[in-house]
Chains A and B, each alone.
Chain A
Amino acid sequence: MVEFLQYIVSGISLGAVYGLVGIGFTMIYNSTKIINFAQGEFVMLSGMIAAVLVEAGMGLLLAIFFAVGGSTLMGWVLKICVSHSKKASTLSLIILTLGFSLTLRGLVEVFLGKEIHRLPSLVGEGTFSFLGAIVTIQGFFVVVVLILVATLLYFFFTRMKEGKAMLGASENADGAQVVGISLSKTLLLNFLLATLSAGIAGIILTPITAVHFESGIFLGLKGFCAAIIGGLANPFAAILGGMALALTESLVAGYISSEYKDVFAFLLLLLILVFRPEGLLKRRL
């Protein structure tokens, strides 16, 4: 029983990371109908910037500020690229994000190096026991951050005018324009929020897993799966999808073998795509 709980606990904090990356996929998908394959690179970028700056002697908080700021800034650049190719088909835009991700990865490799980097934790390395299972403070912190980000986003989308305007613009672009909503502005907000949450994910994940220039590939893939499993219609579904994915991985790794965890994770994705293509959560926000 304790063993089971242990797998659940580690699954949940991993799921929180997947969810945080997945939220960004959903937001950009809803505003543009494109899958942003650069999403994982923003997580990597933020982790890399923070780690390199701290290694160079900068204070942790300041380094985090630059890291999250840096990855969000790149989100802005990506938005400009997408806006510039307005007439391009969805497929071309998806390929554009793939190109953007290769570029980011290459730039990081050239300027920040190929080495694996570590980042000190914001909350320390301690652990505590929960019903016999060991919970790391960092793992717990990931979940707290996810809840915080999700709550803020929920408040933004359901209570604030700009948030509702973003939902409106993704529902009906013409309808949004005729009430005076700027599509370009809502698109930018979507990209900024998506890359901001990716940047935050990088900061809380790097102390746990370390980072190098290729980390974004795996993270992007997992975040993408989380978004698909949860359902692309609703940003918060990605959290559900992330949890489902990570719990599957964690339980398979625990009870069967960690060699099979990815097999089962993709099996879950496949089952969802076949039997419930709209994802676990159909309801929109």
Chain B
Amino acid sequence: MKKNTDETLDHFLKIDNLSASYGKIKALHKVSLNLSRGKMVALIGANGAGKSTFLRCLSGLKKADGGTLYFQGKNIIGYSVAERVKGGMAHVLEGRALFSNLCVKDNIQLGAYLQKKPGKEDMQKVFQHFPALAEKLDASAASLSGGQQQMLAIARALMSQPLLLLLDEPSMGLSPILVKEVFQIIHELKGQGVSILLVEQNASLALQYCDYAYVIENGSIVLEGSGEFLAENEAVKKAYLGI
């Protein structure tokens, strides 16, 4: 098994022994994970395994109990959500977390809330990935289809010009065709140099697209390796790929 240790020397994203809990419930137990610049890493696991909690600790929505979190060489564990966004992290939340009653345009513009001068060009650039949204600027987010809502959530996150995109189950609730489309866009973004940490229950696609993957169970990482390696693993096949 080839570990990706030498690639992670850049400390682009390096998490060590991260723990988190909700009251007495331990949701994460000493999770360590690495992601080097420009790569796509997948985190797969069953319902309630702690995937969303992990992403929430990374973006700062949830306070970790302990552990270190290096992003671009700095330990950002004490940073606020806004500071992490400024630093280049963008979190696309599970369930999308759109501003449902605001229009598409306002949703996208609020994505650039911390940008000094949210330019028209930034928006145009984002629309290159999501041409369908450009035609619905005045529609409320709630009126969009599920697929378009997911696109909008990603578009909003891109407006902050992120270096690292945290994606929480982007394929949830979408038809297979739309899932393919979403993955295609994620792949495009990676091609443009955006690093991606993808949380998915749709393990087969996630493993197919990612450079490296981790399996989380009950708040602990139980397995890691390249996508191909995990896709061939008997336990993974049985538990997550349904083969």
Binary interface profile of B, 46-88, with partner A (CB < 8 Å = 1, else 0)? 0000000000000101000000000000000000011001100
Of the listed stretches B36-44, B101-109, B131-139, chain A binds B101-109
List of A residues within 8 angstroms of B102 by Cβ: 164, 167-168, 171
A171 to B90, CA, bound (A): 19
List of A residues within 8 angstroms of B110 by Cβ: 161, 164-165, 168, 176, 179, 181
Is A164's CB under 8 angstroms from B160's CB? no
CB distance from A193 to the nearest CB of B (A): 18
Binary interface profile of B, 22-37, with partner A (CB < 8 Å = 1, else 0)? 0000000000000000
CB distance from A165 to the nearest CB of B (A): 6
Q: Any chain B CB within 8 A of the CB of A99?
A: no
Q: Any chain B CB within 8 A of the CB of A177?
A: yes
| Interface residues of chain A: helix, strand, loop or mixed (majority) | helix
Q: Any chain B CB within 8 A of the CB of A284?
A: yes
Give A167-199 interface residues, CB cut-off 8 Å to B: 167-168, 171-172, 174-182
Please pick, from A175, A181, A182, the residue contacting B98 in the complex, using a CB distance under 8 A. A175
A168 to B92, CA, bound (A): 15
List of A residues within 8 angstroms of B156 by Cβ: 179
A-B contact count (CB 8 A): 72
Q: A174-B61, A177-B81 are in contact. Are A164 and B109 (CB under 8 A)?
A: yes
Please pick, from A165, A168, A180, A284, the residue contacting B160 in the complex, using a CB distance under 8 A. A180
Q: Any chain A CB within 8 A of the CB of B240?
A: no
Is A178's CB under 8 angstroms from B59's CB? yes
Is A178's CB under 8 angstroms from B113's CB? no
Is A174's CB under 8 angstroms from B93's CB? yes
Give B87-128 interface residues, CB cut-off 8 Å to A: 90-93, 96-102, 106-107, 109-114
A284 to B102, CA, bound (A): 9
List of A residues within 8 angstroms of B98 by Cβ: 171-172, 175
Q: A178-B91, A180-B160 are in contact. Are A171 and B100 (CB under 8 A)?
A: yes
Is B160's CB under 8 angstroms from A179's CB? yes
A165 to B112, CA, bound (A): 11
Is B61's CB under 8 angstroms from A179's CB? no
Taking CB as reference atom, which chain B residue is nearest A167?
B102
Is B106's CB under 8 angstroms from A178's CB? no
* Interface residues contributed by chain A, number (CB under 8 Å): 18
A172 to B90, CA, bound (A): 16
List of B residues within 8 angstroms of A180 by Cβ: 81-82, 85-86, 113-114, 160
Taking CB as reference atom, which chain B residue is nearest A158?
B106
List of B residues within 8 angstroms of A165 by Cβ: 110, 113
Is B100's CB under 8 angstroms from A178's CB? no
List of A residues within 8 angstroms of B114 by Cβ: 179-180
Binary interface profile of B, 164-208, with partner A (CB < 8 Å = 1, else 0)? 000000000000000000000000000000000000000000000
A83 to B96, CA, bound (A): 26
Is B99's CB under 8 angstroms from A181's CB? no
A164 to B112, CA, bound (A): 12
Is A168's CB under 8 angstroms from B99's CB? yes
A20 to B82, CA, bound (A): 34
Q: Any chain A CB within 8 A of the CB of B13?
A: no
Taking CB as reference atom, which chain B residue is nearest A285?
B101
Q: A164-B110, A168-B110 are in contact. Are A177 and B61 (CB under 8 A)?
A: yes
Please pick, from B81, B92, B99, the residue contacting A171 in the complex, using a CB distance under 8 A. B99
Q: Any chain A CB within 8 A of the CB of B157?
A: yes
A180 to B98, CA, bound (A): 14
Is A178's CB under 8 angstroms from B99's CB? no
Please pick, from B85, B86, B107, B109, the residue contacting A178 in the complex, using a CB distance under 8 A. B85
Please pick, from B86, B97, B109, B160, the residue contacting A172 in the complex, using a CB distance under 8 A. B97
Q: Taking beta carbons and an 8 Å cutoff, which residues of B are in contact with A? A: 59, 61, 81-82, 85-86, 90-93, 96-102, 106-107, 109-114, 156-157, 159-160
Q: List 30 A-B contacts (CB under 8 A).
A: A161-B109, A161-B110, A161-B113, A164-B109, A165-B110, A167-B101, A167-B102, A168-B106, A171-B102, A175-B96, A175-B98, A175-B99, A176-B99, A176-B110, A177-B61, A177-B82, A178-B61, A178-B90, A178-B93, A178-B157, A179-B85, A179-B110, A179-B156, A179-B159, A180-B81, A180-B86, A180-B114, A181-B110, A181-B113, A285-B101
Known: A179-B110, A180-B160. 16 other contacts (CB 8 A): A168-B106, A172-B97, A172-B98, A174-B61, A175-B96, A175-B97, A177-B61, A177-B81, A178-B59, A178-B85, A178-B93, A179-B112, A179-B160, A180-B81, A180-B86, A182-B82
A-B complex: 3 closest residue pairs judged by Cβ atoms = A175-B97, A180-B114, A180-B82
